Amino acid sequence: MKPLALLLAGACVALAADTVYFNGKIATMWESHPVVQAVAIRGNRFLAAGGNDAVRSAAAPGSTFVDLKGRTVLPGLIDSHTHPISSALSEQDGPVPVMHSIPEIQAYIRKLAATTPPDRPIFVPKIYSTRLPERRYPTRQELDAAAPGRIVIADNGYASVLSTAALGKLGITRSTPQPSNGKLLKDKDGEPTGLILGAPQLLAAVRNVRNPTRDDLEWALKSMQKRYNEVGITSTIDRGQRPREFRLYQELRQRGELSVRSYVTYLIGAKGTPAQTREEIENIPFVTGMGDEWFRVGSLKVVADGGILIGTAYLREPYGPNTAIYGYSDPDYRGVLSVPRENIFEMARVANRLGWQMTAHTAGGGATDVLLDAYEAAESGRGPKEPSVRDRRFTITHVNFPNDQAIARAKKLGVSFDCQPAWHHLDGEAIKDVFGPSRMSHFLPFRALFDAGIVVAGGSDHMIRFDSRDATNPYNPFFGMWMAITRKTSSGSVLHGEQAATRAEALRMWTLNGAYLSFEEKLKGSIEPGKLADMVVIDKDFLDGPVDEIRDANALLTIVDGKVVFRARAMVN
């Protein structure tokens, strides 16, 4: 058998390794050599990977040797969908508890009421009815009881419950008309219940009342990147920032203070007319790909609809009669597009012309279909010298309900998917009765996607809390991979197990496929000579151990750019 000495060709063969990691079970994601014993690093690149003896031969007297003692090593993990700055800012004033019931929400409100100045709103973030045993939102009266006379908002970004005082501050009364982009819920007497779905313009005065300073933003990003390193994340796709945050990334990159490679999405509103959407894009002074392996301009993004956890995602057909969990009864309602259809088409056309990779938040199947319509129009209408949508790697974010037709269309266009298994695990049990068996069979159908040849990346949509497993949503990559592999819901039941990913596919979602979304699959996402030296040593056997142990796997050593950025106490050299 040919010796497994997998060294760089040419002049690099003569170079000595800085560090050799040996006696490991190294899952490389390198197609020709998927599992090896040892890896050598020189500078910020992998120099060699292979058998212990072959790789050790790349060492010199000054090389450092690390005995892995049989531990599993994976390529550096890539989360394809995070919101690191807002996630850290959510706990700037202290931990936000995980609230498992309406009484716990009320207890948290009482705690905040005791310390929040009377003129400041009491804000409770990321409350989803699908994650409460009551299977409903708290009522206005329950907020009032917890903090009488106070402005209280229980919010999740797409839906809010307001106290009586909050409704009064916003001037929302029985005569307030129904918004075109959401629902203002009223009781049988026509009085507002306090629940508002969508319609962010109604809530602007009480949302985001605290404007973070430049120092706040820097603290948030650096703090969150440290937490990401602690769970083995070495790269991430930040899925929605504006110019101020882009400047922050740029400054930290210039100072060498990033510890997570970041591909940063630029979020636009795409409101008004198609011409205004075009102008908005044309005024952005950069484009996808600018930057380097630490900070790079990513996709252009728009939020195309609402959410399946809120009942505002834009569906192919009405939600139906089982919507009590969302707080409304409207059997003909199918959700709303957040931006005009024609603006999405114009955005796709202009993005392709100017060199942007495009993506859009589409939670419902109807919104996914509209986005695919726009991508098809951009493809068919492109000029003779314009690259194809496939070359631009246009993406769909969330894409929760891709039916067979949507999968086929995406495959034909070369469109990639940015998916979040946590919604299946945490919310599948609650929404299965809303959507019914037929639609639920298309809920994050990983088996169908992989079989079709779709590039599927794994992400968290991390939004709230530092804790990797209790965050909203959990950003622990091993938890996420376990969700994709087992299809288990939070109750322990298996929901459409036929759509499960294999271990290798789940790992690919958090490695090579994440790298593909940022055009960097030749630079990272696998352990092979010449690629960036990003990897993680873990405390479980990912490849052959009990599958449920994957959920509880922890990073012991995280290496980015050849340097150790996290070392657990359990990691003894």
- The reply to whether 23 falls in a domain is yes
Average pLDDT of every residue of the chain:
94
Does 558 lie in the same domain as 471?
no
Q: What is the mean pLDDT of residues 497-510?
A: 98
* 240 dihedral zone (left: phi>0; alpha: psi -120 to 50; beta): left
For residue 423, tell me if it sits in a domain. Answer: yes
Domain contains 385: yes
Cβ contacts of residue 483 below 8 Å, gap of 6+?
A: 421, 422, 424, 425
pLDDT in tens, 350-380: 999 999 999 999 999 999 999 999 999 999 9
State whether 121 and 176 are in the same domain: yes
CATH number, domain of 408, equals 3.20.20.140
How sure is the predictor about 203, in pLDDT bands with cuts at 50, 70 and 90? confident
Flag whether 460 is in a domain: yes
Confidence at residue 23, expressed as pLDDT on a 0 to 100 scale = 98
Q: How far apart (Å, rounded) are the C-alpha atoms in residues 488 and 183? A: 32
Residues 411 and 552 in one domain: no
* 70 lies in the same domain as 106: no
Q: What is the CATH number of the domain that holds 37?
A: 2.30.40.10
For residue 12, what is the DSSP state? G
Q: Does residue 225 sit in the same domain as residue 352?
A: yes
SS3 state at 155: strand
526 in a domain, yes or no? no
Which token pair is 320? 């139906």
Name which of 248, 203, 244, 224 is nearest 90 in CA terms. 224
Residue 47 confidence (pLDDT)? 97
**Do 196 and 55 lie in a common domain?**
no
Q: How many CA atoms lie within 13 A of 273 on its CB side?
A: 3
CATH number of domain containing 186: 3.10.310.70
Buried b / exposed e over 340-371, threshold 16 CB at 10 Å, is eeebbbbbbbbbbbeebbbbbbbbbbbbbbbb
The pLDDT confidence band at residue 2, using thresholds 50, 70 and 90, is very low
Where do the DSSP E strands lie in 309-464?
A: 358-362, 395-398, 416-419, 456-458
CA distances from 485 to 306, 473, 503, 504, 509 (A): 27, 18, 6, 9, 11
Alpha-carbon 511 to chain mean position: 14
Buried b (16+ CB within 10 A) or exposed e, 434-453: bbeeebbbbbbbbbbbbeee
Strands 45-50 and 38-42: antiparallel
Residue 481 lies in a domain: yes
Number of C-beta neighbours around residue 139 at 10 A: 16
- Virtual CA dihedral for 272, 276, 281, 285, nearest 10 degrees? -120
Q: Which of 124, 89, 94, 79 is nearest to 106 (CA)?
A: 124
Is residue 301 predicted with pLDDT exceeding 90? yes
User: Cβ neighbours of residue 171 under 8 Å, at least 6 residues apart?
Assistant: none
CB atoms within 10 A of CB 274: 18
> Same domain, yes or no, for 343 and 402?
yes
How many domains does the structure of the chain reveal? Answer: 3
pLDDT attached to residue 330: 93
Residue 39's pLDDT band (boundaries 50, 70, 90)? very high
Together in a domain, 481 and 389: yes
Query: Is 523 within a domain?
Result: no
Residues 236 and 377 in one domain: yes
Same domain, 162 and 268: no
Q: Per the domain annotation, does 82 fall within a domain? A: no
The answer to whether residues 288 and 388 belong to one domain is yes
The domain containing residue 27 runs over which residues?
5-75+531-567
Same domain? For 274 and 155 the reply is no
pLDDT surpasses 50 at 183: yes
